[in-house]
């Protein structure tokens, strides 16, 4: 992607020493591999287990600032990092250090019934001598829940985000994705009814995606052909066989409408899709908890130029608790998504990750993560495989201050040049967190 001379900053040794001594950071507005939020949030916590990252630490947890019946949680994270391949190119690599400032504010209600949460976050990153890679991410959001008696609740949510695209997704060419950002507007409403052992959830949401131009050395690359709106409806029914185990069925339907023609003035990828999913969620005391769902997805395109696609879909997360000090989390998913690359209109994103969190000391939490993903483009022999490994942790100094570090290695392989370069990247950072 980049053809500028390579500059080498000798920071690996120092970052390695910091990571071994401390651990990994919490990302704010990190690059995402999914453009849509989960249709129904995971809800497997029945109060029988507490993970390492959830455990209360009264000597170190943020106290917040009380204003009447609300609690304010301001936070400022500043970090210094380094990447040996900031444009994710397989040749003529460019490396650079960078600085990040990530302020945030969350406001939570303290009411006995109902709930209201407001948030504002920013993530401003500056690369030394490489302004095209600078990032200005932010998010504003609100979520409220109205409890109507003991059996009914209604939840509404709205968010506006400027987000940066992940090169590990398969929606577009990987070496363009590293420079790609988009604005996402999201609204959702969800109603929930509980009765005895059963629960029914019905929700509807709208997501608007507006992709920004990519600044290339000679020209700005227009991405407006990717702009779209998605309306989605979901119904989920659950039945608890025991207090620890319940089964569920979920059905969803979405309408995806693009605002412009694709590249080459071909018909756009307007479509209608449905998915049915069945599974189990459980919370077994002192052992494990999780949700596993498997089903079928089908997408019909309005234009006869594109073949309809269908296949197996799944989503799941499992947390295993070998001891109170260690949590092992496995996450797997197989979802269908649109692709805006040549010779393919859709792909299956297959992803599996394994994460270990360990409380070495009360105020020192280490973690390690490995992830493998594969994008299979339908009606095409094209595919890509990605690997990501990271390690790090958090050192909590007191209620207000903490230090976070991480080291990460990223690699992508593919069998066709149409979906971008092969690449690998080593990166690391150290962050100071202040939360009054």
Mean pLDDT computed over 424-434 = 97
**319-340: pLDDT as tens digits:** 999 999 999 999 999 999 988 7
Q: What is the pLDDT of residue 178?
A: 86
Mean pLDDT computed over 10-26 = 34
Q: What is the pLDDT of residue 1?
A: 39
Q: How confident is the model at residue 305 (pLDDT cuts 50, 70, 90)?
A: confident
- Whole-number Å distance between alpha carbons of 163 and 171: 15
End-to-end CA distance of the chain: 42
Q: What is the pLDDT of residue 89?
A: 86
- Whole-number Å distance between alpha carbons of 6 and 9: 10
- Whole-number Å distance between alpha carbons of 373 and 168: 8
Interstrand relation of 383-396 and 401-414 (parallel, antiparallel or unpaired): antiparallel
Task: Please state whether the predicted TM-score (pTM) of the whole model is above 0.85.
Answer: yes
- Whole-number Å distance between alpha carbons of 344 and 342: 6
Residues above pLDDT 70, as percent of the chain: 88
**66-87: pLDDT as tens digits:** 999 999 999 999 999 999 999 9
Mean pLDDT computed over 387-412 = 97
Q: What is the pLDDT of residue 170?
A: 80
- Whole-number Å distance between alpha carbons of 299 and 232: 13
Q: What is the pLDDT of residue 342?
A: 61
Q: How confident is the model at residue 65 (pLDDT cuts 50, 70, 90)?
A: very high
**Structural domains of the chain, with CATH:** 12-434 (2.40.160)
Q: How confident is the model at residue 343 (pLDDT cuts 50, 70, 90)?
A: low
Q: How confident is the model at residue 30 (pLDDT cuts 50, 70, 90)?
A: low
Mean pLDDT computed over 182-199 = 94
Mean pLDDT score of the chain, rounded to an integer? 88
């Amino acid at each position: 992607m980049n053809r500028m001379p390579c500059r080498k900053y000798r920071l690996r040794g120092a970052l390695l020493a910091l990571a071994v001594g401390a651990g990994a950071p919490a990302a704010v507005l990190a690059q995402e591999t999914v453009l849509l939020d989960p249709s129904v949030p995971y809800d497997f916590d029945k109060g029988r287990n507490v993970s390492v990252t959830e455990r209360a630490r009264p000597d170190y947890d943020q106290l917040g600032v009380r204003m009447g019946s609300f609690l304010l949680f301001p936070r400022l994270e500043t970090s210094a990092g380094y990447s040996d391949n900031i444009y994710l190119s397989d040749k003529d690599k460019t490396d650079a250090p960078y600085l990040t400032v990530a302020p945030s504010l969350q406001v939570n209600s303290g009411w006995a019934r109902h709930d209201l949460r407001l948030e504002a976050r920013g993530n401003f990153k500056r690369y030394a001598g490489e302004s095209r890679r600078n990032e200005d991410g932010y998010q504003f959001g609100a979520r409220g829940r109205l409890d109507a008696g003991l059996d009914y609740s209604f939840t509404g949510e709205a968010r506006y985000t400027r987000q940066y695209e992940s090169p590990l997704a398969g929606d577009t060419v990987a070496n363009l994705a590293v420079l790609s950002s988009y604005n996402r507007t999201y609204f959702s409403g969800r109603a929930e009814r509980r009765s005895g052992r059963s629960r029914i959830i019905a929700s509807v949401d709208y997501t608007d995606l507006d992709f920004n131009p990519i600044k290339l050395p000679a020209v700005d690359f227009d991405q407006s052909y990717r702009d779209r709106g998605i309306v989605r409806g979901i119904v989920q029914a659950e039945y608890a066989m025991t207090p620890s185990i319940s089964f569920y069925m979920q059905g969803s339907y979405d309408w995806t409408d693009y605002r412009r023609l694709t590249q080459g003035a071909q018909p756009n990828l307007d479509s209608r899709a449905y998915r049915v999913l069945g599974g189990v969620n459980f919370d077994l005391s002192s052992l494990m908890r999780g949700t596993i769902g498997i089903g079928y997805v089908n997408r019909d395109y309005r234009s006869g130029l594109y073949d309809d696609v269908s296949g197996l879909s799944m989503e799941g997360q499992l947390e295993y608790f070998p001891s109170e000090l260690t949590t092992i989390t496995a996450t797997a998913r197989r979802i269908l998504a649109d692709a805006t690359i040549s010779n393919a209109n859709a792909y299956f994103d297959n992803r599996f990750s394994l994460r270990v969190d360990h409380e070495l000391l009360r105020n020192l939490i280490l973690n390690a993560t490995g992830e493998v993903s594969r994008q299979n483009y339908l009606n095409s022999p094209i595919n890509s495989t990605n690997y990501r490994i990271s390690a790090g942790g958090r050192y909590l100094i007191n209620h207000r201050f903490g230090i976070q570090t991480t080291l990460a290695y990223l690699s992508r392989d593919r069998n066709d040049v149409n979906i971008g370069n092969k690449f690998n990247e080593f990166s690391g950072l150290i962050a100071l967190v202040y939360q009054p």
